[in-house]
Each structure stands twice: as C-alpha cells, then as structure tokens.
Amino acid sequence: MRKGTIEFLFVNDLGGGYPTKEKVVENTTVEEFLSTMMEKWEAKEYTIILNGKRPTSDYILKNGDQLVVTPVVQKVASA
C-alpha cells in the first residue's frame, strides 16, 4: 500500500453484495467516497453501516474499516 492511502472493505448492491477492497487518499470521508463511487448518490436512499454502526457523513475512513451500503426498500402500494 502506498503512503498517503488507506484500504478498507466496501460492500454494496453495485457489486452484487460481494466485498471489494477499496483504496482512497487519507482523510477521505464517507460522504466523499460515496459521492464519487456511486452515481446520483443521495444518503436518504441508502442504509449505511460502518463497522457495525451507523456513521456520520463526515466520518474519516480508516485502514481496515468495513463499509456496507444497501438501498432502502420502500413499500409499494398495492393496486
């Protein structure tokens, strides 16, 4: 790993639910990472779990973190 980067696991629906190792520049926040990684990113449309807890959007990612992002399931009105 190069100096100035951190590595963490990222699980999301775009990858079919499989974790990928991601590398980002040090001091990258959850919000910054997700807004660059996911097109049309809006936090209200996803459940975000970091190391088993809900993070704040300004949480700075660290080596070894586990970030899980899943879409919020919305109830569909029946016909």
**CATH number of the domain residue 61 falls in:** 3.10.20.90
pTM for this structure? 0.78
| Domain encompassing residue 17 | 5-71
- Within-domain flag for 77: no
How many structural domains does the chain have? 1
Tokens at residue 9, please?
């696991």
pLDDT at residue 70 in the model: 85
Q: What is the DSSP string of 9-46?
A: EEEEGGGTT--EEEEEETT-BHHHHHHHHSTT--GGGE
- Within-domain flag for 27: yes
Contact 7, 23 (CB under 8 A): yes
Q: Which residue type sits at 2?
A: R
pLDDT at residue 71 in the model: 82
- Within-domain flag for 76: no
- Within-domain flag for 44: yes
Instruction: Give residue-wise pLDDT tens across range 1-30.
Output: 446 899 999 988 766 778 889 999 999 999
